[in-house]
Structure 1
Amino acid sequence: MLSCWPALQFSFAPQHHTNPGTALYKTMVFMGLLLLGCTLSISAAPLQKSTSLDDLELSYGVDRTTLQLDEQLTFTLTVIVPENINVRFEAVADTLGPFSVVARYPSGPTALADGRNRWQRRYLLAPTDT
């Protein structure tokens, strides 16, 4: 059994019509976030990952190569989807595994030249005292 922090959750909602690929998008994003959660609970090594499926892109990463107990890191999650898809990020708890959430920075949707929208969330994280 994996012991990772709960995955960040969000959902996709078509604006004008039902998109049959939505369930596949949700599954892909969930698996990526679950993998990231497992990685972050092991170490705070630098991590930049990206994956795509059809017209959906998911990227996530942390900005630090090492982390001391008195330092913080930034975790960034970016989702790029067709303009007719809304992304809803669920609320994030005050802790994510071994990290405290110090600040949250949402942005999006931002229109891109290719007709898609970029949604992004940045989280400033600090190690919890154990």
Structure 2
Amino acid sequence: MNDKNAVVLFGHGARDPEWARPMQRTRERLLALAPDLQVELAFLEFMQPTLEGVIDKLTTQGVRRIAVVPMFIAQGGHLKSDVPKLVAEARARHPECEIVQALAVGEADSVIAAMAAYAHRCVTAPLT
């Protein structure tokens, strides 16, 4: 059994390509933490690649477990309806692969703590 794993950092997308820079930086940091992990970016709209395309590519490369990590602040409409549908369709296309959808990254306790600490620094220290 192949045990290749991958993470897909999944964002909404925007018309301005600079919008994706924090996701690219997150990808770089994740690869520094786990150099053997395959980490890809995917977008819901406006930008490429799509989630469908990335998952199809990863499964062709032998990946057998994919964690889709929504790079959203909260579980809004897209994450409650659109993304589960995309993930379900991917599971149907690739039954040999375990595909899981994480909660929105902004709902993780550690991320909330980091956002609160940042907001606190904004009032107590010079902004950089």
Same fold (TM over 0.5): no
Question: Which one has the bigger helix percentage?
Answer: 2
* Interval containing the TM-score (normalised by the shorter chain): 0.3 to 0.5
- TM norm structure 2: 0.33
TM-score by length of 1: 0.33
